[in-house]
Amino acid sequence: MSLSPERLERFARHIVLPEIGGAGQAALVDKHVVVVGLGGIGSPALQYLAGAGIGRLTLVDSDSVDASNLQRQTLFSERDIGHGKAVAARRWVQNFDRSLRVTISDQRIDAGNARELMASADLVLDGTDNFATRLAVSDACVASGVPLLSAAVGRFQGQVAAFAGHLPGQPCYRCFVGDAFDADDCDTCAEDGVLGAMVGWVGTFAAMHAVRVLLDGTNRFGDAQWGKLQLMDGIKPGMRAIAIPKDPGCKGCRAKVS
């Protein structure tokens, strides 16, 4: 897509930012982001990625909308209950900006299909709620040479980090959590409850960090901060960051050790 006069007007507030500018906005138009998980994190993240003018979006979620989702999953309304999340999310994007290219998948991600879904992306944003899926996505990103932005939340705590395990010396998500969660009995995270607004904070921060990753090397805003985990506390509130080291024995990215 080119930046027509109508598109220039739409993204004017981005373009006047020296840290983004016309070059940055044009770069975003050419990017392809895969959003895995369209729940509490994926909903606001997708809304702001679409608002940023990411030209191509692939939306992946095998679940359907439930009434209990509406407390935090801002893409959906009561009319979407019982319908597939991927279909409802595509409808939202098409109503929001008909210029964006959107494809969907309602497959459950596993080690067998993840690589095919991630292969053509510039970035994968993972907001899923179980470790088995997250690890399958991470391994596929490393194998395909695609950066991964991982976001998670529970109760009043959140975390966001960008991983580039395909690059020598950089950790992947598996370096962070290890291998134990591949087991079937660790397939889902505990349901401890979560504040809706906390999920929104994590999702919108993930969208902002996605723009940083996509513009890395393009302008002053671009800074991927590979392997730096942003920890978000909704009780205090506050944030802090820790660095995640590369695990030389990691089965996901050990071939990339330099």
**Spatial distance between the Cα atoms of 120 and 226, rounded to a whole number of angstroms:** 20
Continuous H helices in the chain: 5-10, 12-15, 21-29, 42-51, 85-96, 114-118, 131-144, 173-177, 196-214
From 141, 186, 189, 250, the catalytic residue: 189
What are the residues facing 154 on neighbouring strands? 157
Q: Which strand (E) or helix (H) includes residue 159?
A: strand 157-163
Helix (H, G, I), strand (E, B) or coil at 3: coil
CB contact at 8 A, 64 and 85: yes
Is 189 marked active-site? Answer: yes
The residue whose two tokens read 């978000």 is 232
Q: DSSP label at 253?
A: T
Would you mind telling me the total number of residues written for the chain in this entry? 258
**Spatial distance between the Cα atoms of 158 and 29, rounded to a whole number of angstroms:** 29
The residues carrying an active-site annotation are 189
